[in-house]
């Protein structure tokens, strides 16, 4: 019997896929950095039994309806807003994601972004690089304290809980808002559940970790930024579409809020002339929340184990939607 064909939409190390070669045939795009062109993705999907895809690949109705052999889409991400789940269901295609393995790494990045923004680290580096440091002064690049301040976490999933654990080490008061209360989390981490409006009004740091849904698209908009403290710092490590970027730009430009740290954007990649890149009080990162070598390898292995579980095991380990 011929082995299932798996198409991988980026070049990944051969030693990652080697353990799975006894069960699969693999074909992959030739570049690690450049996405597979749409026409080639459509062509390869037609022949594939499974896809291992990136968050930047659009697995939409067009692709799914043209891929009659396709059985499984393994997404290298926790989120799956790049995949049309309804179309996948209609075509009986299983979708999997990579939860848990990236939680701690993403929480590390979230807190690093918070610290870098609060203490103006990028500005300070550029200050020296541009030969502006001529003398010391008491308020030179003075930023905001993080310790003993109030952090408000919007979206208390696994990553939110991991960020909350880090916040306890800084003696922060931890507020959160979520679709459902997390009583065990409140007890374990001394967090306080509040309404969304109360959180944005009272937090010194507002951290967005919500999934992208119809309800969360442009959740952070003009009216929300107006509610925040003028000293508040906004951090987004969820999805760019959860933020009205024009409203955020205006809030930062006019001083409605103090600063922002962003790992995600509405349209990615952004360019150096993106409006938010022109503000000194913004730290922008290129969507690297889970980008440690160890975590990325664990994510790839989980994708491959999901494919293996479907084709030769008892089912995928982390299905988004499993269709028998």
Q: Which long-range contacts (CB under 8 A, 24 or more apart) does 180-184 make?
A: 182/156
Per residue, the 3-state secondary structure of 169-235, as one string, reads HCCCEEEEECCCCCHHHHHHHCEEECCHHHHHHHCCEEEECCCCCCCCCCCECHHHHHHCCCCCEEE
- Domain CATH number, residue 259: 3.40.50.720
Q: What is the pLDDT of residues 51-63, one digit of tens each?
A: 999 999 999 999 9
Residue 321's pLDDT is 60
Residue 324's pLDDT is 40
Question: What is residue 237's three-state secondary structure?
Answer: coil
Residue 322's pLDDT is 44
Q: What is the pLDDT of residues 258-271, one digit of tens each?
A: 999 999 999 999 99
Among candidates 101, 126, 111, 151, which has minimal Cα distance to 298? 101
Report the alpha-carbon distance of residue 73 to residue 306 in Å, rounded: 9
Residue 104's pLDDT is 98
Residue 278's pLDDT is 94
Do 145 and 96 fall within a single domain?
A: no
Backbone torsion region of residue 155, taken as left when φ is above 0, otherwise alpha when ψ lies between -120 and 50, otherwise beta: left
How far from 160 is each of 11, 155, 177, 192, 245, CA to CA, in Å? 31, 6, 10, 13, 22
Quick one: angle between helices 158-169 and 103-118, nearest 10? 50
Residue the block writes with tokens 């107006």: 226
Range of the domain at 261: 103-284
Do 279 and 305 fall within a single domain?
A: no
DSSP assignments along 84-100, one per residue = -HHHHHHTT-EEE---S
Task: Determine the Cα angle at 109 with ends 129 and 100, to 5°.
Answer: 160
DSSP 8-state symbol, 242: G
Do 28 and 71 fall within a single domain?
A: yes
Do 79 and 222 fall within a single domain?
A: no
Do 187 and 270 fall within a single domain?
A: yes
Do 85 and 109 fall within a single domain?
A: no
H or E element at residue 25: strand 25-28
Q: 225, 249 in Cβ contact below 8 A?
A: no
Do 82 and 214 fall within a single domain?
A: no
DSSP 8-state symbol, 277: G
Do 95 and 220 fall within a single domain?
A: no
Active site residues: 239, 268, 287
Residue 55's pLDDT is 94
The model's pTM:
0.93
- Per-residue pLDDT in tens (0 to 9) along the chain, 324 residues: 799 999 999 999 999 999 999 999 999 999 999 999 999 999 999 999 999 999 999 999 999 999 999 999 999 999 999 999 999 999 999 999 999 999 999 999 999 999 999 999 999 999 999 999 999 999 999 999 999 999 999 999 999 999 999 999 999 999 999 999 999 999 999 999 999 999 999 999 999 999 999 999 999 999 999 999 999 999 999 999 999 999 999 999 999 999 999 999 999 999 999 999 999 999 999 999 999 999 999 999 999 999 999 999 999 999 996 444
Structure tokens at 291: 């980008």
Do 140 and 66 fall within a single domain?
A: no
Do 55 and 123 fall within a single domain?
A: no
Do 197 and 312 fall within a single domain?
A: no
Do 111 and 203 fall within a single domain?
A: yes
Report the alpha-carbon distance of residue 111 to residue 113 in Å, rounded: 5
Work out how many domains the chain is built from and give that number: 2
């Amino acid at each position: 019997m011929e082995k299932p064909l798996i198409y991988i939409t980026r070049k990944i190390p051969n030693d990652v896929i080697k353990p799975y070669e006894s069960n699969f045939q693999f074909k992959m795009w030739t570049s690690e950095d450049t996405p597979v062109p749409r026409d080639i993705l459509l062509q390869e999907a037609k022949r594939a039994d499974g896809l291992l895809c990136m968050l930047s690949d659009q697995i939409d109705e067009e692709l799914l309806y043209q891929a009659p052999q396709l059985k499984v889409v393994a997404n290298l991400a926790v989120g799956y807003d790049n995949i049309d789940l309804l179309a996948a269901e209609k075509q009986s295609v299983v979708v999997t994601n990579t939860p848990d393995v990236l939680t701690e790494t993403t929480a590390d990045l979230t807190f690093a972004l918070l610290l870098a923004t609060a203490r103006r680290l990028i500005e300070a580096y550029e200050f020296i690089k541009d030969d502006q440091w001529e003398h010391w002064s008491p308020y030179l690049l003075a930023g905001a304290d993080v310790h003993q301040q109030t952090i408000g976490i919007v979206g208390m999933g696994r990553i939110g809980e991991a960020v909350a654990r880090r916040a306890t080490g800084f003696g922060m008061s931890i507020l959160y808002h979520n679709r459902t209360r997390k009583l065990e989390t409140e007890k374990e981490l001394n967090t306080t559940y509040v309404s969304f409006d109360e959180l944005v009004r009272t937090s010194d740091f507002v951290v967005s970790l919500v999934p992208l849904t119809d309800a969360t698209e442009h959740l952070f908009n003009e009216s929300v930024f107006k509610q925040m403290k003028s000293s508040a710092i906004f951090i987004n490590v969820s999805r760019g579409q959860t933020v009205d970027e024009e409203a955020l730009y205006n809030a930062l430009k006019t001083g409605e809020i103090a600063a922002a740290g962003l790992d995600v954007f509405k349209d990615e990649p952004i360019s150096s002339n993106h409006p938010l890149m022109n503000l000194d009080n913004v730290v922008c990162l290129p969507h690297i929340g889970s980008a440690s070598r160890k975590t990325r390898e664990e994510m790839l292995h989980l994708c491959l184990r999901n494919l293996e579980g479907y084709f030769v095991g008892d089912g995928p380990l982390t299905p988004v939607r499993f269709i028998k």
